[in-house]
């Protein structure tokens, strides 16, 4: 999903008060979703860092 800067797409001066209210509501919900997603990613990364990596078994004496 690509990020689009809303300030470049929407001219806020032409919006009515009701439209601004709806837009603010939509953007507020989106901000909550993005913050939750970031929190989930950070917790997953923390779990991965704690587990570390397993050493690979090496075959000895095989030819």
The tens-digit pLDDT sequence of the chain (63 residues) is 556 665 567 777 888 999 989 989 999 999 999 999 999 999 998 888 877 666 667 767 665
Residue 23 buriedness (CB in 10 A; 0-12 / 13-18 / 19+):
middle
Q: 3-state DSSP helix/strand/coil percent for the chain, to nearest 5?
A: 65, 0, 35
How far apart, in Å, are the Cα atoms of 15 and each of 23, 25, 30? 10, 14, 20
């Amino acid at each position: 999903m690509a990020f689009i800067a809303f300030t470049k797409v929407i001219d806020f001066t032409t919006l009515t008060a009701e439209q601004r209210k709806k837009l603010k509501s939509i953007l507020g919900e989106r901000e909550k979703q993005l913050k939750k997603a970031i929190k989930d990613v950070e917790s997953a990364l923390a779990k991965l860092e704690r587990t570390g990596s397993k050493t690979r078994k090496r075959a000895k004496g095989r030819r």
